[in-house]
């Protein structure tokens, strides 16, 4: 509860900050300060300090899983702010509002990670989505940004419609006429057609939110069109939030019916892996490549949804953390680049060796090379599927896709280190490089001592 | 056939017809007007189901506020039948087939649902009354109610950020 | 009324909405069709609410009320969405003097 | 403690090297590599059971994986090879100028750390970690320094091996899920009866492909000639002297004892593949014009024999393989140094453009001829001991009914190797000198010393191989005890 | 003394190391001295050991130096076997070897110092390897020497490496030997696998227990190894080509010692051959065929060394005939006498070539009798010995083989005698064309003709004495009881096999008759050839069948067309087509497929909202359809 209320309040504060603070940098500093407060408050909540005693009427349910994810999401946002706060403030004329919207999104994420009824899921998802439509279009002069915003809006609203129809079906199928997760499927030995239809529709809609194929089409376009710093936020934290909602929904409501829906998740995962990876191969712009890469990673994350075992829960947190850290880091570099095609990266290692080193670590992590968080994350996903004893074909497909992913990640590496070129000169503050290195070290630490993160799932004072 | 039934069929037929007209009207303004009719028929359904509060809110919020907003924007942009660009014929057919296919699979999936024999209570049942709804809203549903304020706030901020001229 | 009638009516309305989204090029009309879809859902939700009420009123006099409240929230959210959506459409119109979604193809492949 | 030192010394040395000046890095890494060599010599002197040679601390607790390292004869001999190769490579290519030398030498040391880690790990997940880690520095080395087409060639190499390793990862996960304590420790992997024969049949391939790509054996070999050709000599040496051994090591340590039934059932198939590969590579080597490609194909043929000998499942064969792992590394190292010296002087590796070097560079010629002899396994060179035992082992194999066929077809490489190696010697070193080689000079002191050292080692082992037998005897027995031998 | 057996190979090894490591620092005379002294020292030690072995109650000694290979149950010691057979070979190798070393000090004088040292270094290494070969107490050590001599032969044939043709010949020799080694190796594996050991003693002891099939296979494989080393059909073509090496090398390696390694090996394994009659027949027939074929080719050769080379091949054929018919002593006897006279012939030829300034074509020689008296006499004696004219050494040894062949199969004898007649013919064709008649070289050459210096003539004389008298070591028993000294000496080795030398295999009268027939025919042919070629040397190009012979039955061409060219073409095909297009093509194709897929799939990403919605709807429809199917 700490996170929801504080993030909402922080949103309001940021909204007014534009009036009192004239300089972008001070607004950015305030935002960083705010996110630190939010992060600390969430950590404290995990440690048993609840600032607000609110009776949620069982609408929200806070557990270690959701709270830990919140920590990851807020920490990711902190990293984003540390690296790109000034770039966010510089998108347009309303720096305070941009941060306010981001805090509102975080509020939505906090809800989406702790909902206990479909109503809160719906509200949470909408609180995430509506500010994002605006953030996507916040670069108002840029036609690409406009276009992305409208596409996102239309498709997002459409998927909301799908979700609502699904919710309605689930409601109708519920014996108790309830939206509570634990009551949705109760008393159903066999799956009724209504329940199944509802499940499929809500799956499609959430698949849209996390951009799983074939509901992913918005993602590359929107990520490409949105201001890069916002893309970074959307592709990592928001996506993670939507995914956690997905996991919560299936884990809490339908886990007994696993055998009924696993095949659909497997199909989605397979399609996502294939389309995400294969399409990424041909991209010419790093930004767009990263958009497809984010789709591809969802394919792996869906493994966790498929299995929903202990390993999956542990792994998905690690996956989101590792993936977000690496992607935020890469986008932070892309934000600073004038030319973010692959050629733009030529010779970057000569011009900015530390930047290139950090980028290398991020890319290796995304590619799933050991000693980085990305490897263990993938490991958890694969192992969780193998634990079930089925879906080996999916694992093998995943392997091939991971090998394909090497192609596009290493293109960046090759450009940075091995291709001829002077390299763009970027204006970087020393702080930027330092924070980037810190992020890179975190990625590596996640790969060596994942238990530092995962053990938090089991050490909790609620 | 009772009055309820007659009304149900009438409203349903009108709703479907109007909905189709929304989609096929060339003039955007006509579409808006047809949509308002759909909303009215749905409000009618609500009344049949004794959900009076929602019926009124639907009229006020949807048919009133939202559709007026639509109309306003359309007028503002001076869109009319002539400016309405036409989609490629094949794409249209594909769209219709897509919608039809969805309808088909949904019906196929639901036709033998186990709710087939259950009834929706019409006329009676007072959960749809404003008194009961209000009590529930401010007791059990106070959290979502409050939280949706965040949604409004963000929508407001958003509309300002987007709408404001630089 | 049998609940199936409501189900099929709503699904039909929903699918008409979907067909509208698929066939129209005017962003505003597309958006309206989405509103149509939402309304179809609302109707279904209310019908289910009354169905549950009929079944469970004996044990819980407020049974089914959650469905109607959900519809209330849907309307709220839809309103917010429309306000943002129209703002975005207006912004786009300001920049391109068009609301044709077929021209939205700077971003592709 | 010693295993940790063996990994940490090169690792730290590599990291420090990145911070040094280009000029200083070379000397520093040479110094560090000598220290590693010293430590590995100490390790070899200790008995297998020594507590100093084992490390086992908690690591990935959530996954039940431990940071455990251990050294038996097999690990020792490969560590020795790795520790020995790096000083030899550094001295042999001492005069090569590198752009950004500090990065080069730093990465070299990192790759050494990874390679030693592979040979020491006794936890499957840790093994996989090092397996990949050894690859990354080499990828950078091969992509950054080398020939024109190095980037695509190295990339092919990387993707190829990466895909293979991923398959191995799946197999590792599967096996660990089936161990009784769900752990990755090698002891659990070795316990019998946990994986059904049916599962072993497909798991075998998942693992084998990873190792086969690394070795490489036909038909997974096409990355190798390209990569060798394009890489800078020092990197080629690492690839061919040590990395190739990773695949064979993997089979010996993580495949054959872990999936004995799978190994037995697929033995004939793999053996056939190996033999086709040996003959194929030997024939292809006949018509190569590029020295590096020639050696690459020669290496494929030799590795095929080693793999074949493993699947023969005999004491003699395994003993031969373990000896040959070391010997082949040393021999091929010497050959690469010669190729490097030739390329450095004449800026070409084309056999057709060279000739008559024996007149101008008699010392080089002599040393090379001995290396070639060792490569074609002439008696009293180290190459003979290994090949003799391997062929003998294949002949004695009980695990196949085609042992005689295998040994007869495989042994054709005895003369095929002579044909292509001597053809090379003749074209490059004999005959009249041409315009290019007219002004050739003989090799420098450091090169002379290092080649002489290699040659001396080759002859020494060839005449008195007992120390190597002594080192690996225990490992042979323990591997054989875990493999499936038809009753 | 036999405790010090390791000294025998040690001295040449030291010589090799000194000459090899310090070849740039030492003078020519010193390196020659070192090399010759090393071999002489070995000879002396061998002689001392010989006297010990000669004793009546001598038991074979196995001197183990160290454990060579010890892997599991397999144990192969590095150990030497001292018995009459090995000691006899020791004497031949070190004795003839020493003479040739001495000869070489003068013959190679034109080389510069490092090359000179290199030559002796190789030569010493060869002697070392050869000694290992004959001393090894098991097949592995034998194999080490076997490969070692092959390699030295490679080095020495290609000694003048600047000439590509020479190094090609060297390579050919090595590769052909390796083909034989391949068979030899497999035989060793079969033996180890069957008997668990590679030691002669244990194998021969257990051999009777093994199946005939296995023994036959092993012996055939061993013989296949021998055909390469000892230049028998089908692997003989390297030996004539090997004549491009320095002439002393031809004398030592390609006549006296290395090429007889095959005979040594088969003789050593005689226990096995006795158990495999099929193999014996194969050995005999191969030997006989080679003897005839090579002799027929020798008739039409004009290169002095080529004639001798084919003659060597032919004589080796006789030795195998002997082995094949069970006359092991006879074969070894012939090895010895052949070593004497063939070394002498080669050295004489070397002297001639030396005098002729490098000319090897006999058509350009003639009348050298007066210029090179010592060479001429010794050469003549050697020719008489090889032609089988009594009482020169060749007569006795060849006769012993032919007599044994007659017992086995009279057809062998007839063909053998025909071959012997050809031998007499081509040898005297050679002799007459070279030394008699008129000088046919240039005036310049004639001006330079001179007798060679003492280091060259000394070995000639010593060898001539041996060639003349060597036969008396093996006088047939019909002349006098216990006159076959060699037979007695070797008896412990070949004891137990049915064809005992001491008991004459055929009746006395038959043996007299056979002896007389072959001796008479030989003398007739000698006289005929002498007459024919001293008057009218054959100078024109051969025609008809002669051309066929002059071109060596076109065997080289056949090998080229049937084996070498197809192999190269196939390798080229593998390299250009299979490797590039099929295997690498598949790998690259997978990559290209992904790229192609990428280019195609991205068209789904049309940028059109309507398209996206349509695809989403289709996705839902598909999910529903799947669900409907699953429910059924």
Is C in contact with E (3 or more beta carbon pairs below 8 Å)? Answer: yes
Percentage of chain D beyond pLDDT 90 is 67
Chain C: closest CA distance from residue B18 (Å): 10
Inter-chain Cβ pairs, chain B and chain C, closer than 8 A: 245
| Number of domains chain C is built from | 1
Higher pLDDT, C104 or A288: A288
B157/A101 touch (CB, cutoff 8 Å), yes or no: yes
Nearest to A113 by CA among A73, A80, A81: A73
Mean per-residue pLDDT, D99-122: 93
Token pair, residue D9, equals: 């010394």
* Contact yes or no for C68/B133 (Cβ under 8 A): yes
* Contact yes or no for D434/D357 (Cβ under 8 A): no
Q: Average the pLDDT over each of A457-461, C32-36, E419-423 and give the range with the smallest value.
A: A457-461
Please write the tens of the pLDDT for every residue from D31-57. 999 999 999 999 999 888 888 889 999
Token pair, residue C45, equals: 């939700």
CA distance D87 to D112: 11
pLDDT reported for residue E501:
46
Q: Check if E620 contacts B (Cβ < 8 Å).
A: yes
Please write the tens of the pLDDT for every residue from E340-389. 999 999 999 998 888 888 888 888 888 888 888 889 999 999 999 998 88
* Contact yes or no for E99/E459 (Cβ under 8 A): yes
SS3 D436: coil
Expressed as residue numbers, the domain containing C32 is: 3-108
- Residue E502 pLDDT exceeds 50: no
Mean per-residue pLDDT, D464-469: 92
Token pair, residue E527, equals: 């006289």
- Residue A28 pLDDT exceeds 80: yes
CA distance D384 to E443: 54
Higher pLDDT, D456 or E553: D456
**Set of chain B residues whose Cβ sits within 8 Å of the Cβ of E625:** 105
Subunits with at least 3 CB pairs below 8 A relative to chain C? A, B, E
Closest chain E CA to residue D427? E164
D159/A407 touch (CB, cutoff 8 Å), yes or no: yes
Higher pLDDT, B79 or E108: E108
pLDDT reported for residue B7:
92
Subunits with at least 3 CB pairs below 8 A relative to chain A? B, C, D, E
D163/A379 touch (CB, cutoff 8 Å), yes or no: no
pLDDT confidence bin for C12, thresholds 50/70/90:
very high
* Contact yes or no for E80/E6 (Cβ under 8 A): yes
C104/E602 touch (CB, cutoff 8 Å), yes or no: no
Helix (H) or strand (E) holding E74: strand E74-82
Mean per-residue pLDDT, A398-424: 89
Please write the tens of the pLDDT for every residue from D180-201. 888 999 999 998 888 899 999 9
CA distance A137 to A149: 5
Facing D385 at nearest CB: one of E69, E170, E584: E69
**What sign for the dihedral angle of Cα A249, A251, A257, A258?**
positive
Mean per-residue pLDDT, D467-481: 91
A371/D61 touch (CB, cutoff 8 Å), yes or no: no
pLDDT reported for residue A461:
65
Please write the tens of the pLDDT for every residue from E277-329. 899 999 999 999 999 999 999 988 888 899 999 999 999 999 999 999 888 88
pLDDT reported for residue A460:
65
Q: Check if A292 contacts E (Cβ < 8 Å).
A: no
pLDDT confidence bin for B116, thresholds 50/70/90:
low
Residues pairing with E76 in the sheet: E69
Closest chain A CA to residue D128? A370
CATH number of the domain to which C42 belongs: 1.10.287.3510
Is D in contact with C (3 or more beta carbon pairs below 8 Å)? Answer: no
Please write the tens of the pLDDT for every residue from E531-558. 888 877 777 777 788 888 888 888 889 9
- Residue D148 pLDDT exceeds 90: no
**Set of chain C residues whose Cβ sits within 8 Å of the Cβ of B107:** 8, 11
**Burial (CB count within 10 angstroms: exposed 0-12, middle 13-18, buried 19+), residue E481:** exposed
Q: Check if B154 contacts A (Cβ < 8 Å).
A: yes
Facing B105 at nearest CB: one of E613, E614, E621: E621
Nearest to D259 by CA among D306, D206, D318: D206
Q: Check if A104 contacts B (Cβ < 8 Å).
A: yes
The string of DSSP letters for E487-539 reads HHHHHHHHTTSS--SSS-SS-HHHHHHHHHHHHHHHHHHHHHHHHHHHHS---
pLDDT reported for residue D240:
92
**Set of chain C residues whose Cβ sits within 8 Å of the Cβ of E613:** 18, 21-22
Facing B98 at nearest CB: one of E614, E624, E628: E614
The predicted complex's ipTM stands at 0.92
Sequence-separated (6 or more) residues with CB below 8 Å from residue E591 = A407, D156, D159
Closest chain E CA to residue A158? E613
**Average model confidence (pLDDT) across chain D:** 91
- Residue D300 pLDDT exceeds 60: yes
Percentage of chain E beyond pLDDT 90 is 39
Nearest to A326 by CA among A377, A279, A272, A385: A377
A264/E599 touch (CB, cutoff 8 Å), yes or no: no
* Contact yes or no for B113/A194 (Cβ under 8 A): yes
Cα D479-D480-D482 angle, rounded to 5 deg: 70
Token pair, residue A36, equals: 């630190």
pLDDT reported for residue E498:
46
Mean per-residue pLDDT, A17-28: 90
E608/C102 touch (CB, cutoff 8 Å), yes or no: yes
- Scan residues 200-219 of A and list those with Cβ closer than 8 Å to E: 200-201, 203-204, 208, 213-215, 217-218
Buried b (16+ CB within 10 A) or exposed e, A92-123: bebbbbbbbbbbbbbbbbbbbbbbbbbbbbbb
**Set of chain D residues whose Cβ sits within 8 Å of the Cβ of A406:** 158-159, 162
Mean per-residue pLDDT, B137-150: 91
CA distance C101 to A150: 9
């Amino acid at each position: 509860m700490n996170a929801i209320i504080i993030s909402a309040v922080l949103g309001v504060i940021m909204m007014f900050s534009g009036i009192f603070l004239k300089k972008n940098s001070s607004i950015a500093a305030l935002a960083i300060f705010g996110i630190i407060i939010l992060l600390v408050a969430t950590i404290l909540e995990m440690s048993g300090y609840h600032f607000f005693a609110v009776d949620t009427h069982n609408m929200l349910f806070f557990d270690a899983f959701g709270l830990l994810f919140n920590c990851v999401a807020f920490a990711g946002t902190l990293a984003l702010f540390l690296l790109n706060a000034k770039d966010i403030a510089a998108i347009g004329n309303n720096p305070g509002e941009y941060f306010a919207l981001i805090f509102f999104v975080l509020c939505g994420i906090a809800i989406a990670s702790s909902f206990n009824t479909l109503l809160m899921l719906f509200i949470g998802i909408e609180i995430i989505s509506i500010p994002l439509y605006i953030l996507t279009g916040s670069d108002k002069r840029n036609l690409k940004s406009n276009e992305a915003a409208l596409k996102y809006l239309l498709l997002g609203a459409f998927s909301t419609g799908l979700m609502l129809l699904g919710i309605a079906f689930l409601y109708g199928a519920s014996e108790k006429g309830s939206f509570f997760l634990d009551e949705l499927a109760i008393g159903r030995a066999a799956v009724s057609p209504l329940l199944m239809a509802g499940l499929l529709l809500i799956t499609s809609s959430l698949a849209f939110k996390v951009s799983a194929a074939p509901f992913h089409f918005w993602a590359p376009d929107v990520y490409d069109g949105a201001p890069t710093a916002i893309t970074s936020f959307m592709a990592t934290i928001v996506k993670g939030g939507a995914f956690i909602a997905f996991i919560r929904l299936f884990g809490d409501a339908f886990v007994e019916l696993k055998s009924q829906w696993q095949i659909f998740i497997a199909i989605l995962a397979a399609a996502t892996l294939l389309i995400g990876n294969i399409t990424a191969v041909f991209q010419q712009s790093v930004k767009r490549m990263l958009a497809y890469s984010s789709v591809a990673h969802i394919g792996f994350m869906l493994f966790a949804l498929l299995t929903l075992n202990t390993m999956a829960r542990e792994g998905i947190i690690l996956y989101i953390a590792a993936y977000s850290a690496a992607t935020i880091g890469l986008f932070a570099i892309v934000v600073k680049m004038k030319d973010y095609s692959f050629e733009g990266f030529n010779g970057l290692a000569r011009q900015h060796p530390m930047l290139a080193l950090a980028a290398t670590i991020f890319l290796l992590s995304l590619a799933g090379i050991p000693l980085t968080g990305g490897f263990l994350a993938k490991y958890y996903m694969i192992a969780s599927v193998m634990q079930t004893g089925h879906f080996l074909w999916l694992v093998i497909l995943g392997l091939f896709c991971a090998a394909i992913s090497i192609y596009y990640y290493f293109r960046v590496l090759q450009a940075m280190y091995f291709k001829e070129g002077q390299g763009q000169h970027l204006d970087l503050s020393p702080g930027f490089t330092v924070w980037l290195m810190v992020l890179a070290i975190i990625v590596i630490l996640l790969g060596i001592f994942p238990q530092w993160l995962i053990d938090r799932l089991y050490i909790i004072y609620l | 056939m009772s009055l309820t039934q007659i009304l149900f069929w009438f409203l349903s037929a009108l709703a479907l017809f109007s909905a189709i007209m929304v989609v096929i009207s060339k003039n955007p303004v006509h579409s808006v007007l047809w949509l308002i009719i759909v909303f009215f028929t749905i409000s009618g359904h609500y009344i049949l189901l004794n959900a009076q509060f929602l019926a009124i809110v639907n009229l006020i919020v949807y048919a009133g506020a939202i559709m007026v907003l639509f109309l306003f924007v359309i007028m503002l942009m001076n869109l009319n039948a002539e400016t309405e660009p036409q989609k490629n014929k094949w794409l249209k057919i594909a769209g219709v087939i897509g919608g039809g296919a969805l309808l088909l699979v949904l019906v196929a999936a639901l036709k033998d649902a186990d709710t087939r024999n259950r009834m929706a209570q019409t006329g009676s049942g007072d959960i749809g009354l404003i008194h009961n709804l209000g009590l529930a809203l401010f007791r059990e549903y106070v959290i979502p109610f409050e939280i949706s304020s965040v949604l409004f706030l963000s929508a407001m901020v958003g509309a300002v950020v987007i709408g404001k001229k630089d | 009324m049998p609940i199936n009638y409501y189900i099929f009516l709503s699904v039909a309305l929903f699918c008409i909405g979907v067909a509208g989204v698929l066939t129209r090029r005017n962003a505003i009309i597309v958006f309206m069709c989405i509103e149509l879809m939402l309304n179809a859902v609302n109707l279904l939700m209310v019908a289910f609410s009354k169905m549950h009420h009929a079944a469970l009123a004996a044990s819980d006099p407020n049974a089914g009320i959650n469905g109607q409240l959900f519809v209330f929230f849907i309307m709220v959210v839809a309103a917010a969405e429309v306000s943002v959506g129209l703002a975005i459409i207006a912004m786009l119109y300001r920049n391109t003097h068009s609301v044709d979604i077929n021209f939205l193809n700077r971003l592709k492949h | 403690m010693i295993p940790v030192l063996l990994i940490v010394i090169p690792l730290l040395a590599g990291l420090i090297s990145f911070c040094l000046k280009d000029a200083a890095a070379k000397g520093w890494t040479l110094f560090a590599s000598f220290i590693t060599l010293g430590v590995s010599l100490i390790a070899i002197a200790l008995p297998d059971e020594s507590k100093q040679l084992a490390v086992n601390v908690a690591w990935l607790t959530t996954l039940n994986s431990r940071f455990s390292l251990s050294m038996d004869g097999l690990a020792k001999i490969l560590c020795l090879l790795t520790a020995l190769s790096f000083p030899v490579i550094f001295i042999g290519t001492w005069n090569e100028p590198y752009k950004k030398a500090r990065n080069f030498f730093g990465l070299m040391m990192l790759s050494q750390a990874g390679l030693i880690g592979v040979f020491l790990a006794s936890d499957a997940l840790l093994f996989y970690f090092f397996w990949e880690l050894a690859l990354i520095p080499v990828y950078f080395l091969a992509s950054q320094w080398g020939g024109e087409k190095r980037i695509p060639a190295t990339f092919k190499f990387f993707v190829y091996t990466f895909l293979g390793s991923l398959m191995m990862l799946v197999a590792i996960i599967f096996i660990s899920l089936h161990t009784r304590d769900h752990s990755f420790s090698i002891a659990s992997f070795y316990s019998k009866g946990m994986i059904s024969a049916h599962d072993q049949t497909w798991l075998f391939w998942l693992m084998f492909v990873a190792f086969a790509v690394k070795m490489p054996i036909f038909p997974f070999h096409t990355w190798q000639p390209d990569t060798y050709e394009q890489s800078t000599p020092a990197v080629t040496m690492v690839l061919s002297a040590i990395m190739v051994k990773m695949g064979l090591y993997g089979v010996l340590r993580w495949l054959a004892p872990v999936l004995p039934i799978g190994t037995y059932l697929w033995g004939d198939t793999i053996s056939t593949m190996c033999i086709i590969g040996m003959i194929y590579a030997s024939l292809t080597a006949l018509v190569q014009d590029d020295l590096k490609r020639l050696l690459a194909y020669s290496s494929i043929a030799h590795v095929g024999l080693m793999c074949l000998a493993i699947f023969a499942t005999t004491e003699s064969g395994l003993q031969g393989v373990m000896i040959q792992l070391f010997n082949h590394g040393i021999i091929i190292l010497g050959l690469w140094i010669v190729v490097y010296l030739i390329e450095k002087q004449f800026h070409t590796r084309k056999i057709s453009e060279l000739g008559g070097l024996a007149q101008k560079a008699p010392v080089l010629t002599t040393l090379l001829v001995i290396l070639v002899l060792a490569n074609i396994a002439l008696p009293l060179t180290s190459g003979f001991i290994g090949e003799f035992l391997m062929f003998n082992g294949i002949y004695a194999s009980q695990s196949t009914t085609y042992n005689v066929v295998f040994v007869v077809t495989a042994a054709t490489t005895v003369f095929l190797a002579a044909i292509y190696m001597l053809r090379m010697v003749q074209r490059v070193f004999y005959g009249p000198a041409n315009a290019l080689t007219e002004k050739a000079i003989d090799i420098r002191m450091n090169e002379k010393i290092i080649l002489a050292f290699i040659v001396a080692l080759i002859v020494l082992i060839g005449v008195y191989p007992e120390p190597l037998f002594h080192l690996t005897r225990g490992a042979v027995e323990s591997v054989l005890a875990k493999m499936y031998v038809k009753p | 003394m036999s405790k010090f057996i390791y000294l025998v190979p040690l001295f040449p090894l030291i010589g090799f190391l000194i000459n090899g490591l310090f070849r740039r620092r030492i003078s020519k005379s010193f390196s020659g001295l070192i090399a010759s002294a090393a071999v002489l020292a070995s000879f002396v030690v061998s002689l001392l050991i010989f006297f010990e072995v000669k004793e009546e109650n001598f038991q074979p000694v196995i001197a183990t130096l160290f454990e060579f290979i010890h892997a599991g149950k397999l144990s192969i010691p590095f150990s030497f076997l001292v018995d009459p057979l090995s000691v006899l070979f020791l004497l031949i190798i070190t004795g003839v070897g020493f003479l040739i070393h001495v000869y070489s000090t003068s013959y190679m004088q034109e080389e510069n110092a490092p090359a000179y040292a290199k030559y002796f270094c190789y030569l010493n290494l060869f002697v070392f390897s050869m000694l290992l070969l004959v001393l090894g107490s098991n097949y592995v050590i034998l194999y080490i020497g076997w490969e070692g001599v092959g390699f030295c032969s490679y080095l020495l044939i290609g000694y003048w490496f600047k000439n590509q043709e020479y190094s090609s010949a060297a390579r050919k020799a090595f590769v052909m030997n390796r083909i034989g080694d391949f068979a030899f190796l497999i035989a060793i594996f079969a033996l180890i696998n069957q008997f668990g050991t590679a030691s002669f003693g244990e194998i021969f002891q257990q051999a009777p227990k093994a199946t005939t099939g296995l023994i036959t296979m092993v012996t055939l494989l061993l013989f296949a190894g021998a055909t390469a080393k000892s230049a028998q059909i089908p692997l003989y073509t390297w030996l004539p080509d090997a004549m491009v090496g320095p002439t002393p090398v031809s004398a030592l390696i390609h006549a006296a010692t290395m090429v007889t390694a095959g005979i040594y090996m088969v003789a050593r394994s005689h226990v096995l051959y006795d158990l495999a009659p099929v193999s014996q027949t194969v050995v005999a027939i191969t030997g006989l065929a080679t003897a005839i074929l090579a002799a027929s080719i020798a008739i039409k050769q004009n290169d002095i060394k080529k004639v001798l080379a084919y003659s060597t091949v032919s004589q080796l054929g006789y030795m195998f005939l002997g082995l094949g018919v069970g006359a092991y002593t006879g074969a070894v006897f012939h090895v010895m006498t052949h070593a004497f006279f063939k070394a002498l012939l080669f050295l004489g030829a070397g002297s001639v070539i030396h005098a002729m300034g490098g000319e090897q074509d006999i058509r350009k020689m003639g009348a050298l009798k007066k210029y090179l008296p010592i060479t001429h006499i010794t050469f003549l004696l050697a020719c008489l010995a090889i032609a089988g004219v009594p009482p020169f050494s060749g007569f006795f040894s060849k006769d012993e083989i032919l007599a044994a062949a007659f017992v086995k199969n009279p057809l062998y004898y007839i063909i053998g005698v025909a071959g012997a007649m050809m031998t007499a013919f081509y040898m005297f064709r050679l002799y007459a064309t070279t030394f008699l008649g008129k000088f046919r070289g240039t005036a310049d050459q004639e001006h330079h003709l001179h007798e060679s210096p003492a280091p060259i003539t000394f070995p000639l004389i010593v060898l001539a004495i041996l060639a003349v008298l060597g036969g008396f070591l093996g006088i047939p028993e019909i002349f006098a009881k216990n006159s076959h000294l060699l037979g007695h000496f070797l008896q412990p080795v070949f004891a137990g096999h049915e064809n005992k030398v001491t008991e004459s295999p055929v009746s006395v009268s038959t043996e007299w008759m056979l002896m007389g027939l072959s001796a008479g025919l030989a003398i007739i042919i000698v006289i005929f050839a002498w007459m024919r070629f001293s008057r009218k040397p054959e100078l024109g190009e051969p025609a008809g069948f002669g051309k066929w012979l002059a071109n060596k039955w076109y065997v080289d061409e056949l090998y080229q067309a049937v084996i070498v060219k197809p192999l190269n073409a196939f390798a080229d095909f593998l390299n250009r087509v299979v490797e590039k297009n099929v295997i690498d093509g598949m790998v690259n194709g997978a990559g290209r497929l992904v790229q192609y897929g990428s280019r195609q799939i991205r068209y789904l990403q049309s940028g059109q909202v309507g398209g996206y919605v349509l695809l989403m709807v289709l996705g839902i429809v598909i999910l529903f359809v799947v669900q409907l199917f699953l429910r059924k």
